[in-house]
Structure 1
Amino acid sequence: MCVNVFVCAGVFGDEVKSVSVMEGDSVTLHTDITELQTDDLIDWRFGPEETLMAEINKAANKVSINADVLDGRFRDRLQGNNQTGDLTIINITTQHTGLYNITIKGNRDLSYRFNVTVYAHLPIPVITTQNSSSSSSGSNCLLLCSVMNVRDVSLSWYKGNSLLSSISVSDLNIISSISLHLECLDDSYSCVLNNPISNQTQHLNITDLCQTCSDTTGVIY
């Protein structure tokens, strides 16, 4: 199984480095230090309470992981680098979204902050028809593209590469949908679910849902 590792540059002072990663991948938070000094002592902390997750003691050449903090959400997932101070989170989940702080104490005092956002794998949206009826110009079809249990995504209808309509979805545990009202259909329509780092597309199967006609017109509701 392949593991993707995202290496992110460290940030000094009050600046925050934003990091986006897909659930199940691994992320390395990089201090941007080539080699720690002999007396460096590093603390890695997480969340608003700044819970201590890992400590790297360069003098003792030791990496200590606090596996049981935060109900064990980081257990068997953390790796500290005692040469650079980097922290790697393995097989990351959405529970690991949040703010990570690192402080380096010794002859120098440095601090870094990373805002990590973990995105869940997206489901494939489902296209259904609500109703269809005959008209003088062809078939009249109301299509519905739906997804469930997603957040921080957009759901869109496309005709070819042209965006027809789009909605943003921020809440979890609800069914979100976007409609498309067409009098005539062809096979160029698709519904796309996407977040900042991935997408899922469902192409319209016109033979299963609606009748077709030669001229295509579409109205978005």
Structure 2
Amino acid sequence: MFYTFAFCCLCCCCLVGVFAGTDAVKSVSVMEGDSVSLNSGLTEIQEDEEILWTFGSNKTLIAKTDGVNNIIPDDIDGRFRDRLELDKKTGFLTIMNITTEHAGDYKVKISRSRSSSIYRFTVTVYAPLPVISSNSSNCSSPSGSSVSKCVLLCSVVNVSDATLSWYKGHSVLSNISVSDLSVSLSLPLEIECLDDSYSCVVASSFTNWTTHLNTELCQTCPDCVFCCHVSEAVTRLVVSALVGVAAACIVVYDITSRKQERT
């Protein structure tokens, strides 16, 4: 009876060891172009341990080590070629110069003689900055109009729970939001006065990114007279007109005063 009880206890311990860490899922967020290290949970690989890293729902093997030899399959998925580093001591996996193609689910399995542990990671890759582009014609001038209009487009890829906004200085001109897990966002803007005070901002739970408008993206039309400084030109004209009126009033007043003195 004692031996049966001891055997059952041993089996239970083994089962616990086999499934250790199966429920551990860690979310990792990283900027595109950076490197990220996935932790195997070990400080040092023991002699009877083997580390296996897999990617995606198909559990594609991307790297393995026994603490002595590191193996990265020759037929590894092309997106990982020349991007992986495996630490022989700890089994940590580093993905270098990461892109949105590397986003997804990773799994590390630590196999031992009598047990194994599994840890899972969900890696999200964020684009570093929104991109501002212009349409192919750069600007459009309505028939008979002296003001040119530039059409700009701000885009960002692979964002979640984020808001994309156009700013002029500190004022919001327009925005669009998304709550999906991973989508691309685009927001157009048509402007008449082109200057460097415009910017596009992506705000998410992760952080904020800002791209300022490069005025060289959108050139004014050749037949545009006032173009980007319409408001400035109008202001100058108004001021000049006011000065002229004031000068005329002074002259008239002076002539009237002289006539009154003669009388």
- Normalised TM-score (structure 1): 0.66
User: Residues 166 and 143 from structure 1, CA distance in 2 versus in 1: closer, same or farther, beyond 3 angstroms?
Assistant: farther
Q: CA RMSD in A?
A: 3.9
| Alignment-derived partner of residue 15 in structure 1 | 25
Report whether the alignment pairs 1:99 with 2:97.
no
CA distance in 2, matches of 1:18, 1:134: 55
User: Residues 75 and 69 from structure 1, CA distance in 2 versus in 1: closer, same or farther, beyond 3 angstroms?
Assistant: same
CA distance in 2, matches of 1:141, 1:160: 21
Report whether the alignment pairs 1:64 with 2:71.
yes
Gaps of 5+ in 1: 1-10, 216-221
SS of 1:66 mapped into structure 2? coil
8 Å CA contact 1:140–1:181 kept in 2: the answer is no
Report whether the alignment pairs 1:46 with 2:55.
yes
Report the AA paired with residue 92 of structure 1.
I
User: Residues 134 and 193 from structure 1, CA distance in 2 versus in 1: closer, same or farther, beyond 3 angstroms?
Assistant: farther
SS of 2:101 mapped into structure 1? helix
Q: Deviations over 1:160-183 (max 9, x none)?
A: 2333312358349xxx4422567x
User: Residues 113 and 130 from structure 1, CA distance in 2 versus in 1: closer, same or farther, beyond 3 angstroms?
Assistant: farther
| Alignment-derived partner of residue 230 in structure 2 | 212
* Pick aligned residue for 2:133 from 126, 137, 148: 126
User: Residues 213 and 12 from structure 1, CA distance in 2 versus in 1: closer, same or farther, beyond 3 angstroms?
Assistant: farther
Report the AA paired with residue 211 of structure 1.
H
Structure 1 residue 14: Cα displacement: 4.0
Q: Deviations over 1:64-117 (max 9, x none)?
A: 1113133x3322222211211100122333322211111112265322222223
Larger strand fraction of residues: 1
Report whether the alignment pairs 1:157 with 2:166.
yes
* Pick aligned residue for 1:200 from 211, 217, 222: 211
- Normalised TM-score (structure 2): 0.57
SS of 1:211 mapped into structure 2? helix
Q: Deviations over 1:34-55 (max 9, x none)?
A: 2233322111000110111111
CA distance in 2, matches of 1:133, 1:81: 66
SS of 1:163 mapped into structure 2? strand
Task: Give % identity.
Answer: 35
| Alignment-derived partner of residue 251 in structure 2 | none
Structure 1 residue 203: Cα displacement: 5.3
User: Residues 73 and 39 from structure 1, CA distance in 2 versus in 1: closer, same or farther, beyond 3 angstroms?
Assistant: same
Larger helix fraction of residues: 2
8 Å CA contact 1:126–1:202 kept in 2: the answer is no
SS of 1:212 mapped into structure 2? helix
